[in-house]
Structure formats: C-alpha cells, structure tokens
Amino acid sequence: MAEMTSAKPNTHHIVWDWNGTLLDDNHANLAAVNAVCAQFGREPVEMDYWRSVFRRPLIPCYEELLGRSFAEGEWERAEKIYDSSYLEYLHTCELASGVPDVLHQWAGSGGTQSLLSMASHEHLVPLIAERGLDPHFTRVDGRKFETEHDSKAEHLVHHLEHQDLDPSRVVLIGDIDDDARAAREAGARPILVASGLMARERLEATGALVVDTPQDAVAALREFV
C-alpha cells in the first residue's frame, strides 16, 4: 500500500459513512431484507436485485419490494424484523478492504475525519468503540431524529455545525445516492464507493465521483487539496 503524501494546509475533512462504506455488511443487510420478505410473504431477493432498487426513503422502497402498502403498524414490525436479523449477522461483518489502514494514513497526513451514519445512534456508538475506531474520529453520530424525507442531509448539517466545519472543505464518502444528495445539500462534496448497497450505474447517475474502495476515495481526495 502506498504511503499517503502529507496533507496541504486547510486539508479537507472527511465525513465517513459506516454501513457499506467502512463496514462490509452487504450480506447482513441482504439477510435482513429477506427476513422481512419471508414475514410478509415475498420470495427472497438476490443481492444484484436489491442493489438495483434500494433507496431512501425506506418506506416506499420496501413497499415496492413487497408489492403493497404497509398497513398501520406494519412498517414498525418490518423494522424490528430487519434489525433482529441484521444483528444476528453483525458479528460476521468485517471492515472494508483497507480499513482501518486508510484511516491511520489520512490522520497521519494531517487530515481530520468523522463518522456519520443513518444507523441509530445508540446502535452505532458502541459498535465503533468495540471495533477500536474511536480514536480516528473527531465525532461519531448516528441517526438521532427522524426527517421528512428520510435523508442524511439534515443529519449532515447538524454533524458539521457541531464541529464548526466549513462545508466547502468537507468531503462525504458514502455508498448510496442519498450520500451524494446530502453532501450537496449541506454544501460539501461527495465521493461514492461502489462496494455498498447501490449498483455502480446508479451511483454514477448522481454525477458524483465513483470509486471502488475507501482507499481509492482518499486517493482521489488528494486531488482536491
């Protein structure tokens, strides 16, 4: 692995996504989706299919998957089924290729970084600590409130404001189109990795830079600084 060159003054701050970006958990996500399918009478789906349809907001995405609208209380039931199944597989999820080396390298070059996920804050914080990743990040935030459009955008605004960061010096590295949308709405730049829950062609349709791995994303980021 090539060593990262020293960061220039006013180096970009990276906001990392977690699921599908730093954590390789596609198989756990698919198992959880299929657990929902089983409980709602739908045949299981393959990963290529799920990566072709997954999107936020989640409720209409799952209604399309199941072929019907949710009745009162059914979305909450689906969420519980998903979460329970995902947690069963969580121990089998490894960090993405090149992680945590890329975090060490970026910090060593003088850059700063934080983590923002749409996973619940209560779930996320202990998980990051258990993986020994806390020291890399200036802040770790999960989902703390609900938003009208089920997007990361408002969460990102709060995340940056709490750190007094200039959005124009921030790059969000994520794995779905909502990461690109959130970055742009907050005034930051997106880089997307094609290893997560969304097919490459869908990521490319956002107009954001699309790369294969977190390491590739940081290598590309050096062109911005």
pLDDT in tens, 4-36: 334 444 568 999 999 999 999 999 999 999 999
Residue 99 has pLDDT above 50, yes or no: yes
pLDDT of residue 169: 95
pLDDT of residue 149: 74
What mean pLDDT is predicted for residues 209-215? Answer: 97
Measure the CA–CA gap between 65 and 31, rounded to whole angstroms.
14
What mean pLDDT is predicted for residues 141-163? Answer: 90
Direct distance between the N- and C-terminal alpha carbons of the chain, in angstroms, rounded to an integer:
21
| pTM (predicted TM-score) | 0.92
Residue 177 has pLDDT above 50, yes or no: yes
Residue 3 has pLDDT above 80, yes or no: no
Tell me if the bond preceding 57 is cis, omega within 30° of 0. yes
Instruction: Give backbone dihedrals phi and psi of 206, rounded to 5 degrees, phi first.
Output: -75, -15
What mean pLDDT is predicted for residues 65-76? Answer: 97
pLDDT of residue 5: 38
